Structure 1
Amino acid sequence: MSDGPAGGGAARVTIWSRGFVHVLVINLGVSVAQLMVNTLVPKLAVVLGASAVVVGVVSGMFAVTALGVRPLVGPATARIRLNHLLAGTTGVMLLAFVTYAVADSIPVMMAGRLLQGAGMGFLAPVMLALASENLPERRMASGIGVFSLGQAAATAIGPAIGLALQPVIGYRGTFLVGAAVLGVALLMALRVPTHAPVGPAGRGFSWRSFVAVEAVVPAVVLFFLAGAYSGVNAFVVLYGEALGVTDIGLFFTAYAVFVLVSRPVAGRIADRYGLGTVIVPGMLVFAASFVLLARARTLTDFLVAGAVSAFGYGVCQPSVQTMALMSVDRTRRAVAGNTSYIGVDLGYLVMPVAAGSVVSAVGARGADLATSYSVMYLALVVPVVLGMLVYVVHGRRAARARGADPDG
């Protein structure tokens, strides 16, 4: 197999290949659409009568089917062009958004969430593999950091668009706008340059086709980090409303601005000095952001917490994913990305439910809703600390695999 459109030689050091730019634009569009919708899913669940625990279940339910399709990702990428897989999975998510648009009950919302998860199970590792396929080895950390900016930029505008459109055109209209954005991304995906499948068509199913053992430690770290982050996405709007904070959607704007600053800088530092120089400091800052959220009472407090959260998570998450990708050779990048996203999916599945349970338990003891959310955010420091311990104890050895030495 060739080294890919971006090449891996010393003479080619730019990340801006045509294929990488295509994937970057698609990632931005899909992320905007998802965040438009995801911000409104908890709110619609409450409107339909869901408790805090049920809101957590609905928010995290997409991870059930995302995990369910993970065994199919590796074999599919060995037999089907990545751009065709990207188009097909974007289409599945489009159908999920249409399901949200017609939802009039919690079960219908859950069905849409499961459908969205089936698309997301393929979407994230396929886009990550396409991005890495179009990046030079020497600039991998920088490239993945820039690639992740699509989601970061979407964090600034996606929730704000969703929250602004919903009062004007309703939940149904907003979900259909998101579906239209995905339709455009689907058409663009078909034009992304990629290699022909590399796997022999006759190869039988193997667990190694969907799990890269080398990437298990980064996946465990991402389980804790992404799980904690999912608590922000699932409940911050409801928390702000419980406190009577207006314009809480600006939280996502503050978050995105600081991610846009932190990720490219962190990528360049990691490429030059090693991943370990950014991962542990990023985790410490991310943990501190939950303490700030627990103490937040005004919009200013939320904006500061969003900025700190963005700096912490925005630095360590793409670096841990880079560690997963660099643990294998190019032909297994989709499998390594798939493994890392198994950790993300499990975090998204478990943590919102656990966080919602904390809210309900604290409320059952007589606390008001705002206090219950405050205690919940303080509790989310625990998974971040656990993720940091896993990295410190096991991650450095894993990061040294295939040149991804955390110390440079």
Structure 2
Amino acid sequence: MDKPKLWTKDFIIVTTVNFFITLVFYLLIVIMGIYVVEHYNASTSQAGLVTGICIVGALIGRIFIGSQIEKIGRKKTLYIGLALYTITTAMYFIQIDINFLLVIRLLQGIVLGVASTATGTIVAQIIPRTRKGEGIGYYSMSSPLATAIGPFIGFLMIQHASFNMIFALCVVVTIISLVTAFFLYVPKLEDFSTTEKELKRFSVSNFIEIKAIPIAIITLVVAFCYSSILSYINFYAIEIDQVATASFFFLVYSLAVLLSRPFTGRLLDMKGANYVMYPAFILFTIGLFLLSIGNNAIALLTAGALIGLGFGNLQSCTQAIAVKITPPHRMGLATSTFFIFLDAGLGFGPYLLGFFITFMTYGNLYGLLSGVVLLSSILYFFLYGKKEKQLANE
């Protein structure tokens, strides 16, 4: 029997759109701190607030749209999110003061949360059920690609172009993503009337998909650990005198993710999530531990590859689990729930881990977090692993 087709026009479109909006997000993340310091003479703490408030906005957007996406319509939600994303990006040209910039960043985060929840929900709908793991694995590759390319473009343009040129490029990319989305076809759900009845009464389940919470907790823990990489790898590189090597860390990480996702996605569909999750926990643990004891280029880059194989596949696998165990008409809520917990780990992790840095080295911190990841594999066993077959077939 032939496999149902995965690489359809609509799958390619929604993956491309997600790549574009994520690229703009990460490009702006790396240049925003420098921009506010140079343009508004902001302090370091103000620069950090302007940079990070976008993540807070994304959390707000996901919480709101998770309960409304089925009422509005998945495709219409995507259009609204992309249109507003373009508008808020263009608003960077209106340069009044830092408070106005904070409002723009918050608003852009909110509409990013709306748009990315819509793309994640739509892709979960159009991927054939028997190829969910493989499909989401390919789709989620758009994020690490954007994570690598966005900052690279940002750092390059800071050296050779003005900030207005950078903002102009971001506007062009968001317009392209909006136009591309108009060629997307999203089938209607047959059981939406049931969803409307559910949404008329106030309930926590209108904002959070209860079935997705156990696996989302695992996502929160591993994202919290990975946030230490995003926030402190450059500081750690200075500490161990490997600044030049650190610039290649995320490139190696992205390559590891890109090369492994096709295989891990198929393995998830054929054998189940446990065959991917447990090895990924181990690889992430080893990667963080190697990072904690390594003080040379080979150790740093090897750790990058192992963390890519570990966290990169944990992220896509937990997302696939969240939508697999959820009824079709609640995929929007499941996707929103997954990203809320992911963003919470990535967004609040650096702030909380900052307290540990006051009394330990970065190497010690990574060693401690390697233990946390290992323990989270035990938590996964009790929350999902031991009852995987039962939950997946419900």
What interval of TM-score do these two structures reach, taking the shorter chain for normalisation? 0.7 to 0.9
Helix, strand or coil at the partner of 1:246:
helix
Match status 1:190 vs 2:186: no
Tell me what 1:396 maps to. Answer: 385
Match status 1:330 vs 2:321: no
Tell me what 2:16 maps to. Answer: 25
CA-CA distance at 1:147 after TM superposition = 0.6
CA-CA distance at 1:241 after TM superposition = 5.1
Gaps of 5+ in 1: 1-9, 363-370
Q: Is the 8 A contact 1:255 1:309 kept in 2?
A: yes
Q: Aligned partners of 1:247, 1:356: CA distance in 2, in Å?
A: 24
Match status 1:213 vs 2:210: yes
CA-CA distance at 1:259 after TM superposition = 0.4
Tell me what 1:7 maps to. Answer: none
| 26 and 115 in structure 1: CA distance in 2 versus 1, 3 angstrom threshold | same
Q: Aligned partners of 2:122, 2:169: CA distance in 1, in Å?
A: 26
Tell me what 1:384 maps to. Answer: 373
What amino acid is aligned across from residue 272 of structure 2 in structure 1? G
TM-score by length of 2: 0.86
Structure 1 residue aligned with 2:316, among 315, 318, 322?
318
CA-CA distance at 1:76 after TM superposition = 2.3
CA-CA distance at 1:343 after TM superposition = 1.0
Q: Aligned partners of 1:30, 1:74: CA distance in 2, in Å?
A: 19
CA-CA distance at 1:323 after TM superposition = 1.0
Structure 2 residue aligned with 1:160, among 148, 152, 164?
152
Tell me what 1:304 maps to. Answer: 302
Deviations 1:94-141 (A, max 9, x none): 445455666797655543442232123223321111111111111111
Q: Aligned partners of 2:72, 2:106: CA distance in 1, in Å?
A: 23
Q: Which moved more, 1:95-104 or 1:385-394?
A: 95-104
Match status 1:199 vs 2:192: yes
| 75 and 284 in structure 1: CA distance in 2 versus 1, 3 angstrom threshold | same
Structure 1 residue aligned with 2:226, among 197, 222, 229?
229
Q: Aligned partners of 1:298, 1:276: CA distance in 2, in Å?
A: 34
Q: Which moved more, 1:73-82 or 1:344-353?
A: 73-82
What amino acid is aligned across from residue 156 of structure 2 in structure 1? A
Q: Kindly, what percent of the aligned residue pairs are identical?
A: 23
Q: Which moved more, 1:154-163 or 1:66-75?
A: 66-75
TM-score by length of 1: 0.83
What amino acid is aligned across from residue 143 of structure 2 in structure 1? Q
Q: Is the 8 A contact 1:88 1:186 kept in 2?
A: no
Q: Aligned partners of 1:96, 1:241: CA distance in 2, in Å?
A: 35
| 176 and 249 in structure 1: CA distance in 2 versus 1, 3 angstrom threshold | farther
Q: Aligned partners of 2:87, 2:362: CA distance in 1, in Å?
A: 33
Q: Is the 8 A contact 2:86 2:174 kept in 1?
A: yes
| 127 and 268 in structure 1: CA distance in 2 versus 1, 3 angstrom threshold | same
Q: Aligned partners of 1:246, 1:44: CA distance in 2, in Å?
A: 23
Deviations 1:234-281 (A, max 9, x none): 333444356461264322211111100111111111111111011011
Structure 2 residue aligned with 1:39, among 30, 43, 46?
30
CA-CA distance at 1:16 after TM superposition = 1.4
Q: Is the 8 A contact 2:59 2:343 kept in 1?
A: yes
What amino acid is aligned across from residue 16 of structure 1 in structure 2? W
Helix, strand or coil at the partner of 1:294:
helix
Q: Aligned partners of 1:312, 1:234: CA distance in 2, in Å?
A: 18
Q: CA RMSD in A?
A: 3.0
Tell me what 1:136 maps to. Answer: 128
Q: Is the 8 A contact 1:60 1:348 kept in 2?
A: no
Deviations 1:28-75 (A, max 9, x none): 222222222223345557765655x77765554334333333342234
CA-CA distance at 1:356 after TM superposition = 2.7
Deviations 1:210-235 (A, max 9, x none): 21111110110111112222222233
Q: Which moved more, 1:267-276 or 1:349-358?
A: 349-358
Q: Aligned partners of 1:160, 1:63: CA distance in 2, in Å?
A: 20
- Per residue, is there more helix in 1 or in 2? 2
Q: Aligned partners of 1:237, 1:95: CA distance in 2, in Å?
A: 33
What amino acid is aligned across from residue 113 of structure 2 in structure 1? G
What are the equivalent positions in structure 2 for 1:335-350 lying under 5 Å apart?
335-350=333-348
Q: Aligned partners of 2:94, 2:73: CA distance in 1, in Å?
A: 33
Q: Which moved more, 1:384-393 or 1:56-65?
A: 56-65
Q: Aligned partners of 1:314, 1:60: CA distance in 2, in Å?
A: 22
What amino acid is aligned across from residue 221 of structure 2 in structure 1? F
Structure 1 residue aligned with 2:74, among 64, 82, 100?
82
| 326 and 302 in structure 1: CA distance in 2 versus 1, 3 angstrom threshold | same
What amino acid is aligned across from residue 350 of structure 1 in structure 2? F
Q: Aligned partners of 2:347, 2:254: CA distance in 1, in Å?
A: 23
Match status 1:123 vs 2:119: no
| 30 and 69 in structure 1: CA distance in 2 versus 1, 3 angstrom threshold | closer
| 248 and 112 in structure 1: CA distance in 2 versus 1, 3 angstrom threshold | farther
Q: Aligned partners of 1:170, 1:300: CA distance in 2, in Å?
A: 36
Tell me what 1:240 maps to. Answer: 237
Q: Aligned partners of 2:338, 2:212: CA distance in 1, in Å?
A: 7
Q: Is the 8 A contact 2:90 2:171 kept in 1?
A: yes
Helix, strand or coil at the partner of 1:380:
helix
